[in-house]
Amino acid sequence: MTEGRALRLIAEETADLEVISSAVQDSVLKAENLKYDRTRRRFTLEVNRFQWEDSKSKRGPQGRVRALLAFDGVLSVKTRAITKADPDLVLSVLSLSFEPAAEPPGGTISILFAGDGELALEVEAIDATLLDSAYEWSTRQRPDHDKKRR
């Protein structure tokens, strides 16, 4: 694993958000790790992120790292097919995208999950941060989107 190479990414534009989207693809989290602080206008997701940046390495197994994905300037949160009723429900992140509002710089950040779940964050502007922790571990299970189901 790549000790000391923790990601620290900030997004203030659509292109920046696309980089973070690539980094968090196939991250997994429990529904209970979705948190919206209305007072601070901050939405956070605590995720177990697959380290795609190391996946091309021939040095052995890849890993996951505990990371925090945070969005600031969040005015409202809407959900589709996501509930916190089951605290053990595991969500898998597919992508992040931004749809600008009629009046820039605001808009909607969509977080799409496997199984048709989605979060829509109405934001004042793109203000996202991805911070890896020091807690990482090896895994032999690499996410595989081409795997055929029987």
Q: Where are the beta strands (DSSP E) in the chain?
A: 8-11, 28-30, 34-37, 42-50, 62-72, 74-80, 90-100, 107-113, 118-123, 128-139
Per-residue pLDDT band at 140 (split at 50, 70, 90)? low
User: For the chain, what are the domain ranges?
Assistant: 8-135
Answer yes or no: are the C-beta atoms of 81 and 117 closer than 8 Å.
yes
What pTM, to 2 d.p., does this model score?
0.87
> Which distant-in-sequence residues (6+ apart) come within 8 Å of 134 by Cβ?
6
- CA pseudo-torsion sign 75, 81, 84, 89: negative
Q: Strands 107-113 and 118-123: what pairing? A: antiparallel
Please give the Cα distance from 1 to 61 (Å, whole number). Answer: 8
* Per-residue pLDDT reduced to its tens digit, 34-86: 999 999 999 999 999 998 887 665 555 578 999 999 999 999 999 999 988 88
